[in-house]
């Protein structure tokens, strides 16, 4: 397919509005982890979509929130830098004041329309339409893949003429080991309660392929307290086994091959306020 237009589009919004779900729906496969907990995404994730002569490069960003740790400061910085030099912005409800400061056209995407009544949806669209002169207001359900194709067609008008920015078979700029680490962290968020999963980080220490194609993965899960380590491991190792089994299933789907996954848990107190550790865990400035 000949690429005639290409451009970068940031996806921004408050925590837990469905940015990563939309990213996965646009790409057509899972490259960003998704949970019902806010602040799931920590890094900027680049997603590449090729369609009808256009290459869309979507930037999935962390939810913009009030930071309470050095890691939180980093996440907010990622959002701000991701809207600084793009061809368009997809705004998932809110952040109107910041969007007004940008020169790029903004498309307001109202996600999760499967959870509201039609009359309420129309009312919300009217309110946001009055608050800012959006290029378009698009209601979608990323979870049900409703309105996603229409959104891509609309966004094509904002792409400038130019060659493709990434190879045609590339769907994300994330290294495979980073995607695997994020999948494990997703399962921590899904299986654990309260603050514990937000205080975890995952490091892939071994990533190798056997002659028969099987991937050997060793992963270390870091938490902030010894008491949290016990909860992550669980009685007789049951919780860690559950997390690892769920993660291995998704990693095998992503890698397209069998995976042998081993996990360990270590304590790194207050790592979210230690910039050296934050960088070691893969959260780096661009």
The reply to whether the predicted model has a pTM over 0.75 is no
Residue with tokens 């996806």: 11
Residue 286: predicted pLDDT = 46
Low-confidence ranges of the chain (pLDDT < 50): 65, 286
Q: What are phi and psi of 134, to 5 degrees?
A: -70, 150
Q: In what order do the strands lie in the sheet with 5-13?
A: 45-51, 54-60, 5-13, 88-92, 106-110, 136-139
Helix (H, G, I), strand (E, B) or coil at 65: coil
215-223/201-209 β-pairing:
antiparallel
């Amino acid at each position: 397919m000949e690429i005639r237009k290409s451009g970068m589009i940031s996806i921004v919004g408050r925590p837990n509005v469905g940015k990563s779900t939309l990213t996965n729906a646009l790409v057509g496969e899972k490259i960003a982890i998704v949970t019902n907990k806010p602040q799931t995404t920590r890094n900027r994730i680049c997603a590449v979509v090729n369609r009808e002569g256009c290459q869309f490069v979507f930037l999935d960003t962390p939810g913009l929130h009030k930071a309470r740790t050095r890691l939180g400061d980093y996440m907010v910085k990622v959002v701000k830098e991701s809207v600084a030099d793009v061809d368009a912005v997809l705004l998932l409800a809110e952040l109107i004041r910041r969007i007004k400061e940008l020169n790029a056209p903004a498309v307001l995407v109202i996600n999760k329309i499967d959870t509201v009544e039609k009359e309420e949806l129309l009312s919300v669209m009217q309110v946001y339409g009055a608050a800012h002169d959006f290029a378009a207001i698009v209601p979608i359900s990323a979870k049900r893949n409703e309105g996603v194709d229409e959104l891509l067609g609309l966004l094509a008008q904002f792409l400038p003429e130019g060659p493709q920015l990434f190879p045609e078979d590339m769907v994300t700029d994330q290294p495979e080991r980073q995607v695997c680490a994020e999948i494990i962290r997703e399962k921590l968020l899904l299986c654990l309660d309260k603050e514990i999963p937000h205080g975890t980080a995952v490091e892939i220490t071994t990533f190798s392929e056997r002659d028969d194609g099987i991937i050997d993965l060793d992963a270390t899960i870091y938490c902030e307290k010894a008491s949290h380590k016990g909860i992550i491991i669980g009685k007789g190792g049951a919780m860690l086994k559950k997390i690892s089994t769920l993660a291995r299933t998704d990693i095998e789907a992503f890698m397209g091959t069998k995976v042998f996954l081993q996990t360990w848990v270590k304590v790194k107190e207050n790592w979210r306020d230690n910039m050296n550790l934050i960088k070691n865990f893969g959260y780096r400035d661009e």
